[in-house]
Chain A
Amino acid sequence: MSTTAAPPSQEGGFTRRDFLRRLGYAAAVTVAAGGLGLWRHDAQGPVVQSPKKVLSGLGDFSLPNFRGEAGKMAIAEGLDRAQTVGRGLEALGGMGAFIQAGDSVLIKVNAAFATPPALGATTHPELLAAVAKLCFQAGASQVLVTDNPINDPLTCFRISGLEAAAKQVGAQLILPRPALFQPVSLPTGRLLQQWPTLAGVFTGVSKVILLSPVKDHQRAGASMTLKNIYGFLGGRRNIFHQDINGIITELALLLKPTLCILDGTVAMVTNGPTGGSLSDLKETGAMVIATDPVAADAVGVEILGRRLDDIPYIRMAAAAGAGLADYERLKPVVIPAK
Chain B
Amino acid sequence: MRIVTVRRISQGFFFLLLLWLAVVATVGTSWWQLRGWPINWLLELAPLTAVATLLATGTLYGSLLWALVAIILTAFLGRFFCGFVCPVGAMNQCLGWLSRRGHDPLERVAANRFAGAQALKYYFLFFLLLLAFMGTVQTGLIDPLPLIYRSINLAILPLVDARLNGPRFYVSVWLLGLIFLTVAALNLLRPRFFCRYLCPLGAFFGLLASLSPWRLGKQEAGKCGDCRLCEEFCEGACRPSAAIITGECVLCLNCLDRCPAGRITFANRPSAAGEQGLPDLSRRGLILAGTGLLMAPLWQRGGLSGDNRDPLLLRPPGALEEDRFLARCIRCGQCMRVCPANIIQPALLEAGIQGLWSPVINYRLGRSGCQPTCIACGQVCPTAAIRPLSVPEKLGVADFADQGPVRIGTAFIDRGRCLPWAMERPCLVCQEVCPVSPKAIFPRLAFEVIRDGGDLEAWMFGREIEMEAPLPTRVNLASGDYFVGIMAQPELGLRRILRHHDDRLVVEGPPAPSGMPAERVTLDIVVKLDRPHVDPTRCIGCGMCERECPVAGQRAIRVFNENESRAQAGRLLL
Contacts and interface: CB of A to CB of B under 8 A. Distances in A.
B312 interface: no
B268 A6 contact: yes
A46 B211 contact: no
Interface residues of B, number: 42
A36 B54 contact: yes
Given A11-B272, A26-B212, A46-B324, A37 B59 contact: no
Contact of A12 (B61, B270, B321): B270
Interface stretch (B67-75, B252-260, B412-420, B467-475): B67-75
Interface stretch (A218-226, A234-242, A257-265): A234-242
Nearest to B572: A239
Interface string B252-292: 00000000000000011110111000000000000000000
A10 B272 contact: yes
A241 B106 CA distance: 79
A320 interface: no
A235 B61 CA distance: 31
A239 B60 contact: no
A30 interface: yes
B68 A33 contact: yes
A26 B72 CA distance: 7
A12 B71 CA distance: 27
Interface stretch (A17-25, A127-135, A308-316): A17-25
Contacts of A246: 574
A211 to B, nearest CB: 29
A10 B68 CA distance: 36
A191 interface: yes
A138 B60 CA distance: 57
A189 to B, nearest CB: 11
Nearest to B323: A50
B208 interface: yes
B573 A33 contact: no
A33 B568 contact: no
A42 interface: yes
Contacts of B212: 22, 26
Contact of B272 (A12, A46, A48, A50): A12
Contact of A25 (B211, B221, B274, B324): B211
Contact of B62 (A11, A36, A43, A239): A43
Contact of A46 (B208, B273, B384): B384
Size bracket, chain A contacts? 35 or more
A240 B65 contact: no
B268 A50 contact: no
A41 B71 contact: no
Contact of B60 (A9, A22, A40): A40
Given A37-B50, A239-B572, A242-B573, A42 B269 contact: no
Contact of A23 (B213, B267, B320, B324): B213
A45 interface: yes
A46 B320 contact: yes
A29 B388 contact: no
B57 interface: yes
A254 to B, nearest CB: 16
A2 interface: yes
B501 interface: no
Contacts of A29: 71-72, 75, 208
Contacts of B384: 45-46
Contact of A10 (B221, B320, B328): B221
Contacts of B302: none
Given A14-B269, A37-B67, A42 B61 contact: yes
Contact of A194 (B71, B76, B566, B568): B568
Contacts of A42: 59-62
B297 interface: no
Contacts of A34: 68, 72
A111 B57 CA distance: 39
Contacts of B328: 46
B324 A50 contact: yes
A40 B270 contact: no
B232 to A, nearest CB: 25
A90 interface: no
A33 B60 CA distance: 11
A236 B563 CA distance: 12
**Nearest 3 pairs between A and B by C-beta?**
A29-B75, A42-B59, A45-B384
23 contacts: A11-B221, A14-B270, A23-B213, A25-B211, A26-B72, A26-B211, A29-B208, A30-B72, A30-B76, A33-B68, A33-B75, A37-B50, A40-B54, A41-B60, A41-B65, A42-B60, A42-B61, A45-B62, A50-B324, A191-B574, A236-B569, A239-B572, A239-B573
Given A42-B59, A194-B568, A239-B573, 16 more contacts: A9-B269, A9-B270, A11-B272, A14-B270, A22-B211, A22-B213, A29-B71, A33-B72, A37-B50, A37-B68, A41-B59, A42-B61, A46-B57, A46-B59, A242-B574, A243-B574
